[in-house]
């Protein structure tokens, strides 16, 4: 079984639609929503559909809390504004039937038309193929036993997905599934294409240079 873990914070506008989508997926799966202290109706809405747990705020902390509650042999971490392909669960199971693979992600697409959005998604796919690094928008999945051996996500302020995928590669092979996950382009539209692209590259560079994640988060929030 695959456990889908969704960390949320004030996602009342999208959580109901997401959960209806996830409940309609093929294959055996459970859904756990890990709330980080929402002040809107996120918890009330989500509770109508699935199990909701409370956690300390912070995406890494919330995902780790959800993983502790999960019953599946495979963990899939999903952002609230992403949508999985209909055959996501069987595809994950087929990929992990090969014991050489410890996890992976989907192929990114964005929910906006236009050449620039296709280019952004293409660059993300290329980055994954060349480096094995994954971001949360791509739907990271991992064998539960490997996740536990890794100690889960590092509970840092930012870049937890980048850190996790870097460590994951030391445990075995990772696979980028050809099926497309659809992520929201709302951040790119709100902040501007080039401003957002530069920010993402800047954060990755500073992270490699060992700048503390708390400082990176402040840079990120300054843009928001």
Strands (E), 124-169: 140-143
What CA–CA distance (Å, rounded) separates 3 from 95?
Answer: 16
**What does the pLDDT average to over 169-180?**
96
Q: Let me know if 142 is exposed, middle or buried by CB neighbors in 10 A (0-12, 13-18, 19+).
A: buried
What CA–CA distance (Å, rounded) separates 127 from 74?
Answer: 24
User: Residue 215 falls within a domain, yes or no?
Assistant: no
User: Residue 80 falls within a domain, yes or no?
Assistant: yes
pLDDT tens digits along 116-138: 999 999 999 999 988 989 999 99
Q: Which pLDDT band holds residue 200 (cuts at 50, 70, 90)?
A: confident
DSSP symbol at 138: G
What are the two backbone dihedrals, phi and then psi, of residue 121, each rounded to the nearest 5 degrees?
-65, -40
Taking 60 as the threshold, does the pLDDT of residue 224 lie above it? no
User: Residue 200 falls within a domain, yes or no?
Assistant: no
3-state secondary structure of 3: strand
Beta pairing class for 82-83 and 173-183: antiparallel
Which range of residues forms the domain containing residue 31?
2-187
DSSP symbol at 86: T
Taking 70 as the threshold, does the pLDDT of residue 223 lie above it? no
Question: Could you give the number of structural domains in the chain?
Answer: 1
User: Residue 97 falls within a domain, yes or no?
Assistant: yes
Token look-up 């456990």 returns 3
pLDDT, residue 222, reads: 61
pLDDT tens digits along 81-113: 999 999 999 999 999 999 999 999 999 999 998
User: Residue 159 falls within a domain, yes or no?
Assistant: yes
User: Residue 223 falls within a domain, yes or no?
Assistant: no
Q: What percent of the chain has pLDDT over 70?
A: 99
Taking 80 as the threshold, does the pLDDT of residue 221 lie above it? no
Taking 70 as the threshold, does the pLDDT of residue 54 lie above it? yes
Q: What's the pTM?
A: 0.93
Chain-centre distance of CA 188, in angstroms?
A: 17
- CA-based radius of gyration for the chain: 16
Token look-up 């036993």 returns 145
pLDDT, residue 205, reads: 86
User: Residue 211 falls within a domain, yes or no?
Assistant: no
Taking 80 as the threshold, does the pLDDT of residue 49 lie above it? yes
Q: Which pLDDT band holds residue 201 (cuts at 50, 70, 90)?
A: confident
**What does the pLDDT average to over 28-45?**
97
CATH number reported for the structural domain that contains residue 174 in this entry: 3.90.550.10
pLDDT, residue 156, reads: 93
User: Residue 138 falls within a domain, yes or no?
Assistant: yes
């Amino acid at each position: 079984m695959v456990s889908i873990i969704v960390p949320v914070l004030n996602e009342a506008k999208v959580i109901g639609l997401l959960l209806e989508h996830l409940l309609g997926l093929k294959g055996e799966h459970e859904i756990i929503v890990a709330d980080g202290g929402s002040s809107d109706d996120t918890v009330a809405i989500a509770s109508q559909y699935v199990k909701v747990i409370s956690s300390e705020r912070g995406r890494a902390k919330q995902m780790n809390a959800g993983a502790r509650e999960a019953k599946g042999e495979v963990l899939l971490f999903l952002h609230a504004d992403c949508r999985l392909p209909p055959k996501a669960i069987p595809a994950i199971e087929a990929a992990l039937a090969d014991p050489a693979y410890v996890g992976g992600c989907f192929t990114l697409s964005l929910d906006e038309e236009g050449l620039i959005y296709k280019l952004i998604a293409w660059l993300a796919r290329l980055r994954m193929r060349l480096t094995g690094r994954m971001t949360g928008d791509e739907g990271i999945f991992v064998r539960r036993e490997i996740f536990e051996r890794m100690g889960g996500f590092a509970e840092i302020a930012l870049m937890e997905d980048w850190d996790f995928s870097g460590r994951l590669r030391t445990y075995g092979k990772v696979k980028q599934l050809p099926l497309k996950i659809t992520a929201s382009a709302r951040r790119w539209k709100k902040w501007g294409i080039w401003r957002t692209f530069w920010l993402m590259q800047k954060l990755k560079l500073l992270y490699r240079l060992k700048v503390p994640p708390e400082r990176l988060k402040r840079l990120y929030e300054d843009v928001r």
